[in-house]
Chain A
Amino acid sequence: MASLWEYANPVKFMQTSGWLMPVAAVLAAGMIAVGLVWGFFLTPDDFRQGSTVKIIFLHVPSALMAINAWAMMLVTSLIWLVRRHHVSALAAKAAAPIGATMTLIALITGAIWGQPMWGTWWAWDPRLTSFLILFLFYIGYIALWSAIEDPDTAADLTAVLCLVGSVFAVLSRYAALFWNQGLHQGASLSVAPGTRMDWSYKGPLYLCMVGFVMLFIALVLAGTRTEIRARRLRALLTRERAMG
């Protein structure tokens, strides 16, 4: 039985991700295409929100990935701090810009949805505010990575920032809830009884969500592969310099 830690070896990781990345990319493209066509054209309009509601098929999956990307960075940062696997640190680095973009997509689609519904592009609603703050956390994390030259130092420092940032991001979420009770509708999907959404909507939404997960996996793998190649280049240059 192969251990998960085998993928901490860059060579092994490159081999596996070499075929996994295209698979994930194709799955992502297929699922998102089908999910969006199904969602946009083959579902009935909502009796209150009309066709505007259909932006949900982009909004919810991107919001989901915005949070999960940070969670993934937290886990990979911890793995780096505890077990010093370089691939883990590089995966965290690769995930940050993707997470930031997902946050931005969630914010923009939210604004487009909110304008006809609430009559405003932006409201200082706790959920919106939390996402804006999450975006700021992403910016800080990315900025710290790019500011430090030595890759191991950068990996260590950004990992600590990610840990501390996670705690404060959760605190900010509660602070925002306390601060303003908000306009945003409750969670769209819920396991609680009295389901709020019909299956004609849930089908394409779930498909889009899985598609976004696949998209995220494909992008993180691509990003991590790029980072590994950059490190490889660095190692070669160091060797060349050392040999004179």
Chain B
Amino acid sequence: MIALLIRDLRLAFRAGGGFGLGLGFFLILAVLVPLGVGPDPQTLGLIAPGILWVGALLACLLSLDRMFALDHEDGSLDLLATAPIPLEGVVAIKALAHWLTTCLPLALVAPVLGILLNLPGPGYLWLVLSLLLGTPALSMIGAFGAALTVGLKRGGLLLSLLVLPLYVPTLVFGAQSVTRAAQGLDPLTPILLMSGITAGSLALLPFAAAFALRINLR
């Protein structure tokens, strides 16, 4: 299992692995929004939590379609399915690798983009915290969507169509916790609810995703 994680991380960091693309997208989004909305700091501060969460969510979506598709194309997925590690474990590790290479960097640079968007002071801590606790669910739900669409030729767009509605609860609670913190309210309730969704997704979705993968392999 560790070997699989190391391999996936190594592949992501090598040339052509696509590491940093999500980060670049997130940055561009944070620049484009003020250009579209206008420079008024008050307005920007008001919408900053939502923009940052939506941006992180979309950036997370970018690399999802590669999660299983590459392994499917070169035959590794067949071999992994016959290897002594359970397919559920493969799914969980792949989601973890996606989180480490895509979502974790997003959570870490989010405060910098918060400055660009004039996020009010108390929001920063909760922005990072909510992204750290919420994005694992995004990776895991994404792994489920990627498993559903792995055999399809133009799976990328369909994948977004399937995955984005599933992202709604995490987005709502995540962005709410930052908004509340930014307004000086108590952000604990939404962040706990969101963590519950993350925990549930991590516990159950590997099984659903592995089931979908087995069907797609046969």
Task: Tell me if A's interface is mostly helix, strand, loop or mixed.
Answer: helix
A178/B166 in contact, CB under 8 A: no
How many interface residues does A have (CB within 8 Å)? 26
* Interface contact A164-B172, CB-CB below 8 Å: no
Cβ of A104 under 8 Å from chain B: no
Contact with A along B145-161 (1 / 0, CB 8 A): 00011011001001001
**Are A139 and B161 in contact, CB atoms less than 8 angstroms apart?**
yes
> What residue of chain A has the Cβ atom nearest to residue B164's Cβ?
A136
Nearest-CB distance from A72 to chain B (Å)? 19
**In the complex, are the beta carbons of B216 and A153 less than 8 A apart?**
yes
Q: Per-residue CB proximity of B116-135 to A under 8 Å, as 1/0?
A: 00000000000000000000
Question: What A residues does B152 contact at CB under 8 A?
Answer: 147-148
Task: Mark B194-207 against chain A: 1 for CB-CB distance below 8 A, else 0.
Answer: 00010000000100
- Chain B residue at smallest Cβ distance from A81: B211
Stretch with Cβ within 8 A of B (4 or more), from A17-25, A47-55, A58-66, A167-175? A167-175
List residues of B whose CB falls within 8 A of some A CB. Answer: 144, 148-149, 151-152, 155, 158, 161-162, 164-166, 168-169, 172-173, 176, 190, 193, 197, 205, 208, 211-212, 215-216, 218
A222 an interface residue at 8 Å Cβ cutoff?
no
Of the A-B pairs whose beta carbons lie under 8 Å apart in the complex, a sample of 29, sorted by A's number, is: A136-B165, A139-B161, A140-B162, A143-B162, A144-B149, A144-B162, A147-B155, A147-B158, A148-B152, A156-B212, A157-B212, A160-B208, A163-B208, A164-B205, A165-B165, A165-B166, A168-B166, A168-B169, A172-B165, A172-B169, A175-B168, A175-B172, A175-B193, A176-B172, A178-B173, A178-B176, A178-B193, A179-B172, A179-B176
Residues A178-196 near B (CB distance < 8 A): 178-179
CA distance A163 to B161 in the complex (A): 16
CA distance A171 to B170 in the complex (A): 9
